[in-house]
Amino acid sequence: MAAVAAKPHVLVAFALLLLAVGCQARSFWPLEIGYYHDKCPQAEAVVKGVMEKAISQNPGNGAAMIRMLFHDCFVEGCDASVLLDPTPFSPTPEKLSPPNDPTLRGFELIDAIKDALEAACPGVVSCADIVAFAARDASCILSRGKVNFQMPSGRRDGTFSNASEPLKFLAPPPTSNLSDLVASFVIKGLNTEDLVVLSGAHTIGRSHCSSFVSDRLNTPSDINGGLAAFLRGQCPADATPGGNDPTVMQDVVTPNKLDRQYYKNVLSHTVLFTSDAALMTSVETARMVVENAKIPGWWEDRFEKAMVKMAGIEVKTGHQGQIRKNCRAINHY
């Protein structure tokens, strides 16, 4: 049988389809371990060096980096949009949103890391990767090496930041119940175990009294009586954000160590937040709390995996976004 020649318009359509498929294939580059091996071999060592010094001066700097990764990744993906300062064209970025302002810290530390990297490898390492590396290193240092993992990289920096976005995705406050918490994680591709495991970061850092006074101290709750009495001595009953709002350690047992003590605190009702206590309100999550509290190394292994998973939320790669020269401002070419 003689071959049938394809009509020109069919060939054109087929070519366009192939081009479209090819473009789609190239629109996403997966993150890689050792992404900067050739581009900036010292990148991760530079970040770790700055983090070691910062945490030796104040362990709270490590807690701030872990929290910053969460607040960045849950809004617009892990793209450093939380770092952008207000400008006349964008007067209300994420960092001015109530979930971030005034409690999110560590912006100056990111600046210091970026300055060191720009001196070593100008225009190469993204601010988004800096946040991810810093959170990884903070986890390792504060756990005395028990949480030790490789962080894939290759993220690029976003160019959009608006204060309305954190209200959508960081909206479940410390007063949230379990179903609200799970829903906020599921929408970002994380699951119930990720929620329980990442909540373990509450074993370090400090909290403002306004985050728990109204629902844990001023109204009946399951909080341990001794802890409640201590907290009432530290916190005014009318603590409000931006007002008279002192801070207290989240974990009074091992306040500067990233460990499984948090889960022991959950079991003994010595946690600050309703959202912490909520982990005991379902059979599934209560079982996870017990496992993390009782089995050495169990939580650390899962925390490593959950951190990598969270740090991969909606990342920008390839030709998406940009590599900012200054983490506080987008590049204008």
The residues assigned a catalytic role are 71
CB atoms within 10 A of CB 184: 18
Closest C-alpha among 29, 35, 201, 28 to residue 130: 35
CB 72 within 8 A of CB 170: no
DSSP-assigned beta bridge partners for residue 153:
32
Place of tokens 């009782």: 294
299: left (phi over 0), alpha (psi -120 to 50) or beta: alpha
Closest C-alpha among 278, 271, 273, 280 to residue 253: 271
Q: Is 96 exposed, middle or buried (0-12, 13-18, 19+ CB in 10 A)?
A: middle
Instruction: Please give the single-letter amino acid code of residue 312.
Output: G
Instruction: Please give the single-letter amino acid code of residue 77.
Output: G
DSSP characters over 48-62: HHHHHHHHHH-THHH
CA contacts within 13 A on the Cβ side of 46: 23
Helix (H, G, I), strand (E, B) or coil at 208: strand
Helix (H, G, I), strand (E, B) or coil at 140: helix
